[in-house]
């Protein structure tokens, strides 16, 4: 089993070109599955629909969230398809397995006042503080994913037209735009970057001048939250949600937001209309005299 997992992860990394962060998630899920196999003394070739159901039941009993269970199911689907492809097994036990019905949850976003507080926490008088301020502004101004952020190269930036070439999910390319706030920070950041950079052309670097990781970005944001003593949670995806929500609130059409976010389906983007509608409802109930009880 150990050898199969290693070969599968290599397949994801080399042939499917998945990010290291995604591959790591697959590895964690499969290691969890391997423990269950060992506990039940079952060989991977002996697994069937009933066994998979027992595994899912064990996760429900451990109080795993529906989102986590759905991720494990997705991991196993991909893994078993790989095993079929490599002629390691003949029957796929995942064929009839469906995802748990997810609870509808609105994306977490920041109100503009909260965003302004966050963006002003980094100390722009230091090299790393300027970099951190630039990261926050870049995530908010463009709405890109953290996996897209860490892969931006210097040559991907068109400073004349104020746009950046992004390599998104499935190796699909798109351009994102940015405004004057980011333009000014970009110039300052690029000037300071020269002081610590080594021989690499990645836009975002760590304190040693090397390309930064997904985890590195998340740690930076966590430290900013602690420094600012903020009482609300912020992740890179929170800024992506905020980007989309603010665009729609200010009159952007759904199709444009879809393209800027790099969503393949418009239905994925439509969740943000629920966010803006919910905010409108809240403002109405809070502010209109006849809406108050």
Question: Looking at the annotation, which residues are catalytic?
Answer: 145, 169, 237, 240, 263, 272
Say if residues 240 and 144 touch (Cβ distance below 8 Å): yes
Q: What is the C-alpha to C-alpha distance for residues 44 and 228, in angstroms, rounded to an integer? A: 49
Q: How many CB atoms lie within 10 A of CB 248?
A: 20
Q: What is the C-alpha to C-alpha distance for residues 134 and 167, in angstroms, rounded to an integer? A: 19
Q: What region, left, alpha or beta, does residue 33 occupy, with left being phi > 0 and alpha being psi -120 to 50 degrees?
A: alpha
For the CA atoms of 252, 234, 228, 128, the dihedral, rounded to the nearest 10 degrees, stands at: -90
Say if residues 244 and 269 touch (Cβ distance below 8 Å): yes
Q: How far is CA 48 from CA 1, 69, 83, 97, in A?
A: 16, 18, 14, 11
What angle is formed at CA 248 by the lines to CA 245 and CA 254, rounded to 5 degrees?
110
**Which residues are registered as beta bridge partners of 167?**
173
Q: What is the C-alpha to C-alpha distance for residues 84 and 87, in angstroms, rounded to an integer? A: 5
Residue in the block written with tokens 């980007």: 243
Q: What is the C-alpha to C-alpha distance for residues 132 and 152, in angstroms, rounded to an integer? A: 16
Say if residues 204 and 131 touch (Cβ distance below 8 Å): yes
Instruction: Tell me phi and psi for residue 176, to 5 degrees.
Output: -115, 150
Q: What is the C-alpha to C-alpha distance for residues 96 and 79, in angstroms, rounded to an integer? A: 15
């Amino acid at each position: 089993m150990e050898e199969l997992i290693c070969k599968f992860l290599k397949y994801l990394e080399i042939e499917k070109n998945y990010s290291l962060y995604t591959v790591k998630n697959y590895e964690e899920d499969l290691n969890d599955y391997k423990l269950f196999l060992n506990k039940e003394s079952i060989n991977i070739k002996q697994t069937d629909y009933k066994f998979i159901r027992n595994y899912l039941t064990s996760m429900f009993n451990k109080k795993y969230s529906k989102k986590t269970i759905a991720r494990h199911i997705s991991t196993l689907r991909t893994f078993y398809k790989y095993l079929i492809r490599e002629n390691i097994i003949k029957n796929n036990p995942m064929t009839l397995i469906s995802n748990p019905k997810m609870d509808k949850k609105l994306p977490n976003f920041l109100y503009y006042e909260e965003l302004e507080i966050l963006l002003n926490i980094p100390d722009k008088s230091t090299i790393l503080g300027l970099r951190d301020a630039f990261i926050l502004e870049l995530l908010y101004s463009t709405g890109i994913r953290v996996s897209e952020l860490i892969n931006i190269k210097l040559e991907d930036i068109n400073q004349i037209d104020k746009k950046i070439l992004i390599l998104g999910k499935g190796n699909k390319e798109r351009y994102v735009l940015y405004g004057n706030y980011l333009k000014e920070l970009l110039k300052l950041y690029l000037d300071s970057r020269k002081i610590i950079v080594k021989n690499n052309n990645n836009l975002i670097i760590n304190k040693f001048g090397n390309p930064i990781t997904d985890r590195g970005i998340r740690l930076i944001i966590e430290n900013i939250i602690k420094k600012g003593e903020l009482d609300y949670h912020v992740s890179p995806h929170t800024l992506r949600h905020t980007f989309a929500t603010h665009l729609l609130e200010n009159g952007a059409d759904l199709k444009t937001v879809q393209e800027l976010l790099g969503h393949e389906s418009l239905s994925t983007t439509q969740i943000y209309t629920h966010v803006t509608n919910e905010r409108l409802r809240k403002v109405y109930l809070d502010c209109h005299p006849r809406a108050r009880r």
